[in-house]
Amino acid sequence: QQQVKQSPQSLIVQKGGISIINCAYENTAFDYFPWYQQFPGKGPALLIAIRPDVSEKKEGRFTISFNKSAKQFSLHIMDSQPGDSATYFCAARDFGNEKLTFGTGTRLTIIP
Amino acid sequence: EPEVTQTPSHQVTQMGQEVILRCVPISNHLYFYWYRQILGQKVEFLVSFYNNEISEKSEIFDDQFSVERPDGSNFTLKIRSTKLEDSAMYFCASIRNLDLLGTNVLTFGAGSRLTVL
């Protein structure tokens, strides 16, 4: 029940296109849903996060869409750029715990 | 921008040896964490630490692991007798409090790569 399922495992998008990564969860006690971006050899860095009381959050080219009834959330990267090529992890936190539960990651490659 | 620093960046050790990974969390942060990432896999929670004691640990964090904040700035992870399967990237993270609002975000270090031969 603590799992966060992420898809796809890898994604190739043309420059300027929209990258979409999906996550699903089971634990209804999760109350915070961040997305992390990780470049090779670096630690995960917070990209954008959402709480379950809103259905969408946008920061620049990055948007989280949240569907509480379906227990799904997704990351949309508009106008994808080669610099966006990285591994993206969704995560979730149960306020009863301190830890983040991470998805399995999506390796995103933006091609010219 | 404040950051979490970790040393060493890479350590190679023989199976059965003790390893200490070090972290300097952001100075006004109160909650500290270790996560690990086996190559190509997801990031997994190991342990959380608050007020000089472990507040939560995962099933991965067995008796071979220990954490310590020896001097008020460093936060260490010790693996007493390393196994081959301990080979992974170990990330330290810290946060000011648990509210996760605004600028209060869980900040990760760049990681320490541990290779056990």
pLDDT at A1 over 80: no
CB contact under 8 A, B45 and A43: no
pLDDT at B23 over 70: yes
pLDDT digits (tens, 9 = 90+) for B88-114: 999 999 988 777 666 667 889 999 999
- Determine the pLDDT at residue B89: 95
Residue B60 buriedness (CB in 10 A; 0-12 / 13-18 / 19+): middle
A30 in contact with chain B, both atoms CB, cutoff 8 A: no
pLDDT at B46 over 80: yes
pLDDT digits (tens, 9 = 90+) for A66-111: 999 999 999 999 999 999 999 999 999 877 667 889 999 999 999 9
A103 in contact with chain B, both atoms CB, cutoff 8 A: yes
Q: What six digits make up the tokens of A98?
A: 């301190």
Q: What stretches of B1-116 show up as alpha helix (H) in DSSP? A: none
| Closest by Cα among A66, A101, A49, A60 to A83 | A60
